[in-house]
Amino acid sequence: MSFVRTAVRSALARRSAFFRSVKHLSTDAAQPQQHAAGAGGAKFPGAQQASFVTAPKLALPETMEPLSIYRVMNSEGVIEDESQDPKLDQATVRKMFRDMVLLNTMDKILYESQRQGRISFYMTNFGEEASHIGSAAALSIEDWVYGQYREAGVLVWRGFTISDFINQCYGNAEDQGKGRQMPVHYGSRKLNFVTISSPLGTQIPQAAGAAYAFKLQPNNQRCVVTYFGEGAASEGDTHAAFNFAATLDCPVIFFCRNNGFAISTPSAEQYRGDGIAGRASGYGMAALRFDGTDVFATYNATKLAREYVLRENKPIVLEAMAYRIGHHSTSDDSTAYRPAEELEVWNTVEHPITKLKHYMIRRGWFNEEEENEFVKSVRKQVLSQINQSERIPKPNWREMFQDVYQDMPNHLKEQMREMEEHVAKHQEHYPLKDYKQ
């Protein structure tokens, strides 16, 4: 019984000590919140900034003000607020326009190449050219890019050539990826563009980790940008990336291309909240939503975001609002789930190339004859490169054993030896003439 009495006295002593500590917190640390709360109280670790109220009130989504859409240029190419003019010179604007036109022209031809059975797969970028070019122009070439599969314009801006694109789509021996990826899964170590992978969303937490590594380097001047669609934002990888980046203060730009459709699922069925940028505050991140068909709004937004993440060592969510004009891929038929009338508006009046053309005409920077000749030149280059790429052999089949280990281990050496013997014995069953020897 003496043991029980001792235990009770000990418990009462601990309880008294606890309430003394609460009283101390109430009179000191929590004092600034007394007026708002009506009474002092301890700060909960999970909600340090929240005050107390005496009546329950539901936080309803319909009472939340949606984030606005930042725009610089309207559909007629008119800058609505001169203070937002990025003041880019003629050469830069012309490069923006021509890079968008090059991408658009190349997309049309390679899409038809897939339809002819010349390549196995393709994804176009129609309607989203401005979000690629505008953001790429605002980044440093030293910044790392983790793409999804619809950011080819970023590579165009950085110097990925027509031959680089087409050799990758054909998976031949000149492909920088050594023919190991399906078409449009580009990558370039030289251009700091990490190779695309098919599983949706995997690049997003990888980007957060890379940005954290950059932050740890002395005098870091590099950030990371990762692109993804609003459909990928439904993946668990996105939540993990947002939370890691916010809690670890990573200089990463989460660039969401909200083009209205996750394959055939419209955004109205993909989420119920205020888009993707609207989620940022829940993670403690900054956010900015803008018109992704406006190359100047995209440029200004990305430039501002880059300055912010490097200055504050914190992440930001950018949401480029656009419309996917093309089918999701060559495996999709979008006429089954959206009306042609809707598509027509975005393919004409609201098209990003059309808007920039209007702007250039107003500035006296557009020459119709020169630009038509440029399109013809691009078409000729693309068609010529297709003709060449088709003739280049596939990489040596032994490449599949390379690049996993710095020094090939014995078990892979044995497998390669067995494969060599097998191919030599049954070479009539393999198209060896199509492969580099």
Within 28-125, residue ranges assigned H as helices are: 34-37, 90-115
Q: What pLDDT, in 10s, does the model give residues 183-208?
A: 999 999 999 999 999 999 999 999 99
**Domains of the chain listed by start with CATH number:** 63-390 (3.40.50.970), 397-434 (no CATH)
Q: At how many degrees (to 10) do helices 162-170 and 368-391 cross? A: 40
Find the catalytic residue in 163, 264, 329, 334: 329
21 among known catalytic residues: no
Average pLDDT of the segment spanning 349-360: 97
What's the pLDDT band for 1 if we cut at 50, 70, 90?
Answer: very low
Q: What pLDDT, in 10s, does the model give residues 260-310?
A: 999 999 999 999 999 999 999 999 999 999 999 999 999 999 999 999 999
pLDDT value at position 114?
97
Reply yes or no on whether the pLDDT at 35 is more than 50.
no
226 touches 253 (CB < 8 A): yes
DSSP of 296-321, one letter per residue?
Answer: HHHHHHHHHHHHHHHHH---EEEEEE
329 among known catalytic residues: yes
Q: What pLDDT, in 10s, does the model give residues 215-238?
A: 999 999 999 999 999 999 999 999
Strands annotated E in 191-315: 193-194, 224-229, 252-258, 261-262, 265-266, 286-291
Find the catalytic residue in 185, 327, 328, 351: 328
Looking up tokens 């900034």 gives 49
Tokens of 204: 């997003």
pLDDT value at position 51?
87
| Measured distance CA(185)–CA(202) in Å, rounded | 14
What's the pLDDT band for 19 if we cut at 50, 70, 90?
Answer: very low
Find the catalytic residue in 16, 198, 331, 377: 198
Find the catalytic residue in 10, 76, 80, 112: 112
Instruction: Provide the 3-class DSSP secondary structure of residue 259.
Output: coil
Across the chain, mean pLDDT equals: 92
Please give the DSSP secondary-structure letter assigned to residue 157: H
pTM value is 0.89
Average pLDDT of the segment spanning 422-426: 97
What's the pLDDT band for 43 if we cut at 50, 70, 90?
Answer: confident
Q: Which amino acid, one-letter code, is at 77?
A: G
Angstrom distances, CA of residue 219 to CA of 141, 156, 310: 17, 29, 10
198 among known catalytic residues: yes
Q: What pLDDT, in 10s, does the model give residues 72-115?
A: 999 999 999 999 999 999 999 999 999 999 999 999 999 999 99
pLDDT value at position 109?
98
